[in-house]
Amino acid sequence: MLSDRRDFLVRVRCCGTRYYVPDDLIKVFGDCPVLLLHERIRKCEDCGSREFLQVSLDYPTAAERAEIRVRRLMEVKTYRRPIWRDESA
Ligand SMILES: [Zn+2]
Protein backbone atom coordinates (compact mmCIF):
# COMPACT_ATOMS: atom_id res chain seq x y z
CA MET A 1 0.00 0.00 0.00
CA LEU A 2 1.09 3.56 -0.58
CA SER A 3 1.00 4.25 3.16
CA ASP A 4 3.72 1.63 3.63
CA ARG A 5 5.95 3.48 1.18
CA ARG A 6 6.07 6.95 2.65
CA ASP A 7 9.87 7.03 2.43
CA PHE A 8 9.70 6.59 -1.33
CA LEU A 9 8.78 8.87 -4.18
CA VAL A 10 6.39 7.73 -6.88
CA ARG A 11 7.91 8.21 -10.31
CA VAL A 12 5.55 8.66 -13.26
CA ARG A 13 7.12 8.55 -16.70
CA CYS A 14 5.66 9.31 -20.09
CA CYS A 15 6.66 12.42 -22.01
CA GLY A 16 8.81 13.40 -19.06
CA THR A 17 9.35 12.21 -15.53
CA ARG A 18 7.40 13.49 -12.56
CA TYR A 19 7.82 12.60 -8.91
CA TYR A 20 5.04 12.53 -6.35
CA VAL A 21 4.92 12.14 -2.58
CA PRO A 22 2.87 9.08 -1.54
CA ASP A 23 0.82 11.10 0.98
CA ASP A 24 -0.36 13.44 -1.81
CA LEU A 25 -1.43 10.50 -3.96
CA ILE A 26 -3.28 8.95 -1.01
CA LYS A 27 -5.33 12.17 -0.72
CA VAL A 28 -6.32 11.90 -4.38
CA PHE A 29 -6.62 8.16 -5.04
CA GLY A 30 -6.92 6.67 -1.56
CA ASP A 31 -4.46 4.30 0.03
CA CYS A 32 -4.11 1.73 -2.73
CA PRO A 33 -1.51 -0.87 -3.65
CA VAL A 34 1.29 0.65 -5.67
CA LEU A 35 0.52 -1.75 -8.52
CA LEU A 36 -2.95 -0.19 -8.89
CA LEU A 37 -1.61 3.35 -9.22
CA HIS A 38 -1.18 2.93 -12.95
CA GLU A 39 -4.93 2.29 -13.23
CA ARG A 40 -5.85 5.25 -11.06
CA ILE A 41 -3.55 7.84 -12.61
CA ARG A 42 -5.23 7.05 -15.95
CA LYS A 43 -3.35 9.44 -18.24
CA CYS A 44 -0.29 11.56 -18.74
CA GLU A 45 -0.79 15.19 -17.77
CA ASP A 46 1.14 16.32 -20.83
CA CYS A 47 -0.08 14.19 -23.75
CA GLY A 48 -3.32 12.78 -22.30
CA SER A 49 -2.36 9.24 -23.24
CA ARG A 50 -1.80 6.27 -20.97
CA GLU A 51 -0.15 4.10 -23.57
CA PHE A 52 3.41 4.78 -22.44
CA LEU A 53 2.70 5.70 -18.83
CA GLN A 54 5.02 3.99 -16.38
CA VAL A 55 4.53 4.21 -12.63
CA SER A 56 7.15 2.99 -10.20
CA LEU A 57 8.59 3.61 -6.77
CA ASP A 58 11.89 5.34 -6.43
CA TYR A 59 14.10 5.64 -3.40
CA PRO A 60 16.55 8.37 -4.32
CA THR A 61 19.64 9.07 -2.31
CA ALA A 62 19.88 12.37 -0.46
CA ALA A 63 22.05 13.73 -3.25
CA GLU A 64 19.53 12.65 -5.89
CA ARG A 65 16.65 14.13 -3.90
CA ALA A 66 18.37 17.49 -3.93
CA GLU A 67 18.15 17.43 -7.75
CA ILE A 68 14.56 16.18 -8.02
CA ARG A 69 11.58 18.48 -8.35
CA VAL A 70 8.56 16.93 -6.66
CA ARG A 71 5.06 17.69 -7.87
CA ARG A 72 3.09 18.54 -4.72
CA LEU A 73 -0.66 18.60 -4.27
CA MET A 74 -1.96 22.14 -3.69
CA GLU A 75 -5.62 21.32 -3.14
CA VAL A 76 -8.43 19.04 -4.26
CA LYS A 77 -11.46 20.84 -5.66
CA THR A 78 -14.87 19.28 -5.43
CA TYR A 79 -17.37 20.28 -8.07
CA ARG A 80 -21.14 20.27 -7.48
CA ARG A 81 -23.09 18.89 -10.42
CA PRO A 82 -26.91 18.81 -10.38
CA ILE A 83 -28.55 15.52 -11.40
CA TRP A 84 -32.13 15.91 -12.68
CA ARG A 85 -34.98 13.53 -13.30
CA ASP A 86 -38.45 14.03 -14.75
CA GLU A 87 -41.48 13.16 -12.64
CA SER A 88 -45.22 13.39 -13.13
CA ALA A 89 -46.63 16.54 -11.58
ZN1 LIG B 1 2.77 11.74 -22.13
Residue 79 falls inside a structural domain? no
Ligand 1 centre to CA of 89 (Å) is 51
Residue 73 falls inside a structural domain? no
Residue 56 falls inside a structural domain? yes
Ligand 1 centre to CA of 86 (Å) is 42
Ligand 1 centre to CA of 13 (Å) is 8
Residue 75 falls inside a structural domain? no
**What percent of the chain shows pLDDT beyond 70?**
100
- Domain tally, the chain: 1
Residue 77 falls inside a structural domain? no
**Which residues, 6 or more positions from 41, have their beta carbon under 8 angstroms from its beta carbon?**
12, 29, 50, 53, 55
Return residues with CB closer than 5 A to ligand 1 (ion). Answer: 14-15, 44, 46-47
**What percent of the chain shows pLDDT beyond 90?**
73
Range of the domain at 35: 2-67
Ligand 1 centre to CA of 24 (Å) is 21
Rounded-to-integer distance, Cα 42 and Cα 70, Å: 19
Residue 7 falls inside a structural domain? yes
The helix (H) or strand (E) run that includes residue 19 is strand 17-20
Residue 62 falls inside a structural domain? yes
Model confidence at 13: pLDDT above 90: yes
Ligand 1 centre to CA of 33 (Å) is 23
Model confidence at 5: pLDDT above 90: no
Q: What is the pTM of this model?
A: 0.82
